[in-house]
Structure 1
């Protein structure tokens, strides 16, 4: 039996998305939300817990998920053309359940094989915003997708995931290899999550209150308006009013500093302060350059330690 056939043999028929059987498994698309704070842009720990517990309905696909589903075959076709000697095989409704924990499962998009030898899994993505996408050919992909790839390898036993992506202007290919340390952390947080789910211990909303999915989950948990008034803590009231007042000024301040930074940079590619790169100018195709913050920007202490020390002393 070839490795490709062996991989298919270990798979099982996956239930339809949204069914109780599907909801009960912690799949690769969910794993990033088991971190606190969540690494997923689509779900928080709180929203995922209540969705899997059945206390709120599954969220409908947003524009990003819908776009990805529609473009997936085209992305796979491009990836096939880039590797003419490979066979990019659809999984056809299969999923892989981890042999040591039946609560964990993965549903990769495709399998890359050649002559019966599995070359890796394939996860197709689309991205309107390339902020978290690094150099093609590397594993510099958004954190949630990195978690997803590692989880697929954990459940299938494979050791490589290819991530072809279509952005606004081009196709690109990334490669994620098995990271045992990262997988160990994912498994630990997954078991904590699933144990709490089985015990019915709901998470606190405060752990991920800043995630939009948490707010949407709370709305789903309280769909009625009964006409009563509730007394809230003074601190919460002040925080809410202050946040409302500061959001507009924060946006204006960011635009102001971005404009001043663009003027200071002129035609330069990067902005450097005290040996640290703060931002860079990028351009999409023939478009005008724009300011882009670095993925790992320097801290205040790194840029101005004397200011930081003064603030600490105060």
Structure 2
């Protein structure tokens, strides 16, 4: 996909110390995720997911924080597309999961009966759809660029505009919390990924994300790709298709799997997948947010792969010229070739 943004410029001089870029302004869930990921870093609140990836590519930010998926609304397609089709140079280095608590924010003194419009980021509005239909059936739903921007707009209104957002946004913009926990489903959680110029070293509790472009469509191709992971005891935690934006009916597949690219079994699986499809992009290997260490079958442990490698190298060491000259004359021509005396 061709980007309409200006190409990333060479790195410019910037103040010393790590910097984290996130989807601003301050008061968004992304700003909270950035604080969790890099509490001591200087902060750059940017206006789009694309700008965050560009900042990482240009090395004007050491870390970028972008939303990847929500437990209610699913994947953030803008992030998936930037990772799959954007310029190289920004890889997933970590992840943060953040519980999402939606509150109805208004100017102090406003009542539900005063609210004519509710504003927020589109995903936030969708996560509170049922509550809004029950308690504010006549209110208009207006999309804003972020939950914090919606809070700012509500603060500047005459009291007839409410925002869906965080407690922090209410404090930043002088709003009251008219209703708490207005999201429709408990356990509402957003997964943010941390982007850097390089992948994180293996920790033993890792995850690898990749995207596979099929190119030529062949029967059974997806099955063969998935089997490469299954044969090595690698758990797939996510599989999702997205249009390639080239032609109707052409898709790429996003896969999250357990393990790190430096793990023998993951490396072997990726090499085997690459035999099936030439266009394979690894988006990153990184520590899992839940720190869960998966235990592979005994035949798929690192020890088992190392034992097999050493055995095979020993086997290859037995290939070579015979001592004392050639003894292969009678059969060196190949199997089945007759040599008459």
TM-score band by shorter chain is under 0.3
Please state which structure has a larger fraction of its residues in strand: 2
Which has more radius of gyration?
Answer: 2
Please state which structure has a larger fraction of its residues in helix: 1
TM-score (structure 2 length as normaliser): 0.21
